[in-house]
Amino acid sequence: MPQVKCKICNKEFYVKPNHLKLGWGKYCSRKCASLSRRKGQYVICDICGKKIWKMPKDIRGSKSGKFFCGKSCQTKWRNGVYSGENHYLWQGGECVYREKLIKSGRKIVCKKCGLTDKRVIIAHHIDKNRKNTNLSNLVWLCRNCHHLAHNHNEDF
């Protein structure tokens, strides 16, 4: 009875003689056979540190040399790197007033009515000049109060 050792786990197993002639008796199971064909390596996600398997094609295809466990980690990295002046649609930074208000630490609350629903709160220029992005010229308003400020000249 021909006994051979598995090339992956070194376990001894029986192989039919005609299978040996065909060169088939190399692995003890399908699991070991699939492990023998597996190419690639483990890499670490650059955002969360999770260990992930990447194929050689994926490793060669990475333009940045960074690897991510999924789209959410990739998006976190991309939003940090390709924002502001590095974004391909950057037009000089005239429209960054909302980000300025957020970074200033002001609470996102409507200055006129006190609404706190972030879905409807927008940045408003007091002097109605969009190019004047000084913090003293910016306030938070809900859409309703913003409409009143622009179309009905109501003060807040």
The model carries a pTM of 0.46
- pLDDT level of residue 98 (50, 70, 90 thresholds): confident
> For residues 84 and 103, which has the higher predicted lDDT (pLDDT)?
103
Tell me what pLDDT residue 95 has. Answer: 67
Tokens 């609404």 found at = 115
CB 72 within 8 A of CB 45: no
Each residue's pLDDT tens digit, 103-156: 898 999 999 999 999 999 999 999 988 888 888 999 999 999 999 999 988 876
Tell me the β-bridge partners of 116. Answer: none
What's the whole-number mean pLDDT along residues 47-70?
94
What's the whole-number mean pLDDT along residues 69-86?
89
Rounded CA-CA distance 66/73 in Å is 11
Q: Is 84 left (phi over 0), alpha (psi -120 to 50) or beta?
A: left
Which residues of 60-130 form beta strands (DSSP E)?
Answer: 121-125
CA 124 to chain centre: 30
Is the confidence at residue 52, as pLDDT, over 80?
yes
